Structure 1
Amino acid sequence: MPASAPSLDVVAVGNAIVDVIAKSDDAFLAEHALTKGGMQLIDAEMAESLYGEMDAAIESSGGSAANTLAGLAALGKKCGFIGQVRDDQLGTVFAHDIRALGIRFDTVALTGDAPTARCLILVTPDAQRTMNTFLGASQYLPAKALDVDLIQSAAILYLEGYLWDPEQPRAAMRAAIDAARAAGRKVAFTLSDNFVIDRHRADFIDLIDQGFIDILFSNEGEIQSLAEIDDFEAAVASIGARVPVLVSTRSEKGAVAVVAGVRYEAPAAAVETIVDTTGAGDLFASGFLAAHIDGRSVEDCLALGAAAAAEVIAHYGARPEADLKLIEARLFA
């Protein structure tokens, strides 16, 4: 029986995190033995200690997949989010913020000891962001928390690689893939970070080779790590031959997509001053998916992805501040 027409554009499963973004410098990173430009998982004790030493910060609901949905919502798409918070103050903040964007969020909050997750983001003067993530309640998303009807109501299921690491949400994401597939929906997956790939490369390759991923998002380092090939073009060719749509961003070098075996390339959008690269990949995915949903060409998908990424790196924070619909209108005028 053919699946009914989707009522939502994208439903994402991801970490429900409150972002805390502050200015920093290389000396602070060195003092705390933090790897510049990377992401590390931290425990509750370090989260409290590091938070206490950070400069004045911007605090908002975040997480990679949630940021992508924020961009999609700003581009007029109908979205839903599945992610785990606790019934604490930050959990209430997260839920209010994401719903205020027009994104459906119905996951029942946990009760118990694990607090809502937070990501402490340190931005150095060169606009590099160093992320320190306490996963808290987000790593306890069980398969039973999934809203199967919500997943099957969306044209695309978007999965956040970061959430593949903990055991419970990994099982939930596998169940979400099964639900989307049963309804004939597409599955998009973002690799998120090299450390996730190093731990779960075999899983990701298996998902690709079984045909469970329709759209794969990566950056330059991630695609090389996944393919275990040091050369970018060779890595793209290897993985691009195995997935219907591969997108790989390259910062100031632009982005590459391989669709049905055909390679496309687009330059990065111009940015007067790069302030904070937090969320650049997330918003690139927003723009690409929005144009893809609209049936635009691959070139247009790449262009809107680049434009959305350029907007978010021109200010602090991982959520768009300018009108993305106006940017889209100008781009395709």
Structure 2
Amino acid sequence: MSNPSSPASSLQVIAIGNAIVDVMAPCADALIERLGLVRGGMTLVDTDRAQELYDAMGPAREISGGSAANTLAGLAALGSSCAFIGQVAQDQMGEVFAHDIRAGGISFETPARAGDPPTARCLIFVTPDGQRTMNTYLGASQFLPPAALDEAAIAAAQVLYLEGYLWDPEEPRSAMRRAIAAARNAGRKVAFTLSDAFVIARHGDDFRSLIEAGEIDILFANHIELAALTGQDDFHAGIDALKSKVPMLVVTRSEHGAVAACGGELFEVRAEPVEQVIDTTGAGDLFAAGFLHGHVQGRPPAECLEIGAICAAEIISHYGARPEANLKDLIDARFG
């Protein structure tokens, strides 16, 4: 995972997630209805549906994505040392993904997979209000084997960050369980993002078991996922149901900001003002990047929340889930 000039021990965050290329296009609200899409959500699609949706898209941009990879892109842009574990195929999109993530300063050494299926892609329809409707073809990403793990790098990194989306396929789920064991055996922290309510509907029992067993140190969720996991529609009741079970609970609330529950205290941050919301793709991913960057630097929870909010605001001000502004400059302008 690491190269000789960058020893594994220098890693701050190592993440396991879907290696996906985002294919993004603006669309009218009517197209969402005509295609029968779940507005604002993420739906898994098969090969035929992926082709149907791609054919229906207008002019599109291809941008390397994937939730955990987006988070690492933000972390690297902020100056954290990172590595990514994820599966691509030996095809053009796989080469695009690998080039993009390495160009961002992130170590990526997972060997590409020969043959079908092709590299994963997420077909994203962006409506005029900036809302994104995602349709994900998982392709090669769902065949990440446990053998692809660099357990020495996982044991050396400060934080192992896991993407809930990748819990769905059996092979990478097994790899992630093995990675959790490697991190915990080395006394490292495990951070987990719930990703989407549909993942919780399928694997909530697994997630609740991990939490009850004390295997999650930092849990990221949005308010919808919090309700799905706890069964509590009231936001604060959901916080109360989880705050004693994870050392750090971080919950985002879109335009209402975010909260963190830690050490018996509740910290809150307002959403950063944005001149215009262009595209909400990756807002949660970049919030997690800012929060984790602050965390590995040893900053207090309130500052971690604020850094997360700044990063999320930057990402929703343009198309795509990778930062375009200099995140370091934005943080330095606030904190010096």
Distance of 1:88 and 1:261 partners within structure 2: 49
Counterpart of 2:209 (choices 206, 210, 225) is 206
Counterpart of 1:301 (choices 280, 301, 304) is 304
Cα RMSD of the aligned pairs, angstroms, is: 1.1
Distance of 2:270 and 2:330 partners within structure 1: 17
Distance of 1:135 and 1:260 partners within structure 2: 38
Q: Which structure 2 residues correspond to residues 18-97 of structure 1 after superposition, within 5 A? A: 18-97=21-100
2:103 corresponds to which residue?
A: 100
1:319 corresponds to which residue?
A: 322
Distance of 2:118 and 2:310 partners within structure 1: 35
Please tell me the residue identity of whatever aligns with 2:143.
Y
Shift of 1:147: 1.1
In the alignment, structure 1 residue 109 sits paired with structure 2 residue 115: no
Distance of 1:160 and 1:136 partners within structure 2: 16
Distance of 1:50 and 1:196 partners within structure 2: 22
Shift of 1:25: 1.6
Q: Which structure 2 residues correspond to residues 83-162 of structure 1 after superposition, within 5 A? A: 83-162=86-165
TM-score, normalised to structure 2, is 0.97
For structure 1, list consecutive stretches of 5 or more residues without a partner in the other structure. Answer: none
2:4 corresponds to which residue?
A: none
Aligned length: 330
For residues 56-108 of structure 1, give each alpha carbon's deviation from its aligned partner in whole angstroms, at most 9, with x where no partner exists: 11111110000000000000010000000111111111111100001000001
Shift of 1:153: 2.2
- SS at 1:157's partner residue? strand
For residues 141-173 of structure 1, give each alpha carbon's deviation from its aligned partner in whole angstroms, at most 9, with x where no partner exists: 111111112212210000000000110000000
Distance of 1:200 and 1:53 partners within structure 2: 31
Which of 247-256 and 55-64 deviates more? 55-64
Distance of 2:267 and 2:335 partners within structure 1: 18
Percent of paired sites with the same residue: 61
Instruction: List 4+ stretches of structure 1 deviating above 2 A.
Output: none
Shift of 1:129: 0.3
Shift of 1:133: 0.1
- SS at 1:199's partner residue? helix
The answer as to whether partners of 2:9 and 2:153 remain within 8 angstroms in 1 is: no
2:180 corresponds to which residue?
A: 177
The answer as to whether partners of 2:8 and 2:153 remain within 8 angstroms in 1 is: no
Counterpart of 1:250 (choices 248, 253, 257) is 253
In the alignment, structure 1 residue 228 sits paired with structure 2 residue 231: yes
For residues 224-250 of structure 1, give each alpha carbon's deviation from its aligned partner in whole angstroms, at most 9, with x where no partner exists: 110011111100111111100000000
TM-score, normalised to structure 1, is 0.98
The answer as to whether partners of 2:21 and 2:120 remain within 8 angstroms in 1 is: yes
Shift of 1:5: 9.3
2:3 corresponds to which residue?
A: none
For residues 122-143 of structure 1, give each alpha carbon's deviation from its aligned partner in whole angstroms, at most 9, with x where no partner exists: 1101111000000000001111
Distance of 2:190 and 2:8 partners within structure 1: 16
Distance of 1:312 and 1:283 partners within structure 2: 7
